[in-house]
Each structure stands twice: as structure tokens, then as C-alpha cells.
């Protein structure tokens, strides 16, 4: 069966450290993988998109890697800040390229 | 620019009642998506439209659910009759292409 798995346990890190979140998938062959941020009581907000032929993508303090052999994406936040605390969702473009399927998300807490 | 606007933000109603959720997408966006988010199942796609036409409703759980998009600036998701297991946060999203998607802040629905 198709699955998108993210760490269900919350990730707690200290301010200034690098946070690394994992997204693993099975039985998908996505052309694109995306990361979204969701704050309590709000809708998800798009952060980054990476294509299957890209190994790495950066945007400011964010970095995403995409390994189609391992079927895994890693999401890094460097120099983390308390304002980075949120739930982070990965999403694959499926269904002929028009449907997003989301992982269940990982909650990140950055402590002072 | 206004984002995706959903109404109401909160809805509490009794089992058996009709519920109508509303969405105004971002102007110029050709795609509109309805999602449901619960703790158990995460964020699930219910239905999406392209140019006001329903393209894929395979995620709609039952015939009690229906969605319409009468014009490019308005969509509704209706549940009739509602049941307690329909309680969830319902999100609307729009996009100029299949991605990235811009989400509203959701309607928190409670069916008593």
C-alpha cells in the first residue's frame, strides 16, 4: 500500500541548532515533493518544492534533499529560532500530477 | 492580496442538520481543492476542481458530501445529513496550477 511517513513524535531542539525532519514514502514515484508549515489554528503554508531530478534545494535557512532511490526527503532548518516552532508536512504530487498527498506531519519545538 | 477565505471559521451543529462550508479562492487561480484534517487521518483530499469543473471526487467519503463551484470565485462543500464522525477541520486551497497550493485557515466543524 502507499504510505508517506513522518516522525510522529515531536522534535525538541535548542535555539541555534539545526533541525532535521524526515519524510519517507513507499509505493509512490512522485515527480515533485513539497514541504509545508502549519501553525495551530491555521492552514498549511507552502515552503519549498523539489523535483525528482534535483538532489537539494535551499531557501534562506531551509534546505530540502530528495533521494528517489531511498524514497526519502530530509528537511533542514539551520540556526533554528523559537519562531520556527510549528508542524511541518511533506506532500507528494500524485494522481497523474494534480493531487497532493500529505504526510501526517512532525511537530517541531525550538526552545530557548 | 487577500488569501483564500473560508467561512464560517467555526460551526457547531446537531447531528442530522445540513452543513454548508464556503470558500473564496484567490483571484486568477484555476484549481480549487477541499481537504479534511483529523488527528487520526491527517490531511485528506476530498475533491478538486479545475476551471470550476470537478475533476476528482474520489476522496469524498459518502453521498452525504457534495461540492459545487458555480463560478471562479466561490465554492461550497455541503454535508447532509451531518454525523458526529464528520467533525474535523475542513480546508479549502487554491492554486494557479496543481501546485503550490494556498490554503485558507479552515472551518472547524463540530457535530454533536
Residue-wise pLDDT for A29-44, tens only, equals 888 999 999 999 999 9
Residue-wise pLDDT tens digits, B6-61: 999 999 999 999 999 999 999 999 999 999 999 989 999 999 999 999 999 999 98
Report the mean per-residue pLDDT for chain B. 95
- Sheet containing strand A3-6, edge to edge, reads A3-6, A19-26, A72-77, A62-67, A56-59
Residues of A in contact with B48 (CB under 8 A): 98-99
pLDDT at A27: 86
Q: Is B79 on the interface with A (CB under 8 A)?
A: no
Interface contact flag, A43 B33, Cβ < 8 Å: no
pLDDT at A31: 81
As a whole number of angstroms, the distance between CA B51 and CA B72 comes to: 7
Instruction: Note if the bond before A64 is cis, omega within 30 degrees.
Output: no
In order, the DSSP letters of A75-93 are EEESS--GGG-EEEEEEEE
State whether the Cα torsion B94-A48-B43-A2 is positive or negative: positive
Q: Which of B4, B99, B103 sits opposite A93 (nearest CB)?
A: B99
* Chain B residue nearest residue A95, CA to CA: B56
Q: Is B33 on the interface with A (CB under 8 A)?
A: yes
Amino acid at each position: 500500500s502507499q504510505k508517506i511517513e513522518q516522525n510522529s513524535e515531536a522534535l525538541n531542539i535548542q535555539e541555534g541548532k539545526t533541525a532535521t525532519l524526515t519524510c519517507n514514502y513507499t509505493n509512490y514515484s512522485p515527480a515533485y515533493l513539497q514541504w509545508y508549515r502549519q501553525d495551530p489554528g491555521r492552514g498549511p503554508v507552502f515552503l519549498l518544492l523539489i523535483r525528482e531530478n534535483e538532489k537539494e534545494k535551499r531557501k534562506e535557512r531551509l534546505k530540502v534533499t530528495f533521494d528517489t532511490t531511498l524514497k526519502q526527503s530530509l528537511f533542514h532548518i539551520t540556526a533554528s529560532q523559537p519562531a520556527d516552532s510549528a508542524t511541518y508536512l511533506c506532500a507528494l504530487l500524485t494522481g497523474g500530477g494534480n493531487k497532493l498527498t500529505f504526510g501526517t506531519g512532525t511537530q517541531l519545538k525550538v526552545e530557548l | 492580496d487577500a488569501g483564500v477565505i473560508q467561512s464560517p471559521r467555526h460551526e457547531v451543529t446537531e447531528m442530522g442538520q445540513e452543513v454548508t462550508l464556503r470558500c473564496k479562492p484567490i483571484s486568477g487561480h484555476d484549481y480549487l481543492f477541499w481537504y479534511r484534517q483529523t488527528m487520526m487521518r491527517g490531511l485528506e483530499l476530498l475533491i478538486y476542481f479545475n476551471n470550476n469543473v470537478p475533476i476528482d471526487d474520489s476522496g469524498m467519503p459518502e453521498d452525504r458530501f457534495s461540492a459545487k463551484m458555480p463560478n471562479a470565485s466561490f465554492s461550497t462543500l455541503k454535508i447532509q445529513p451531518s454525523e458526529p464522525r464528520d467533525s474535523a477541520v475542513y480546508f479549502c486551497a487554491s492554486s494557479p496550477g496543481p501546485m503550490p497550493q494556498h490554503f485558507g485557515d479552515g472551518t472547524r466543524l463540530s457535530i454533536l
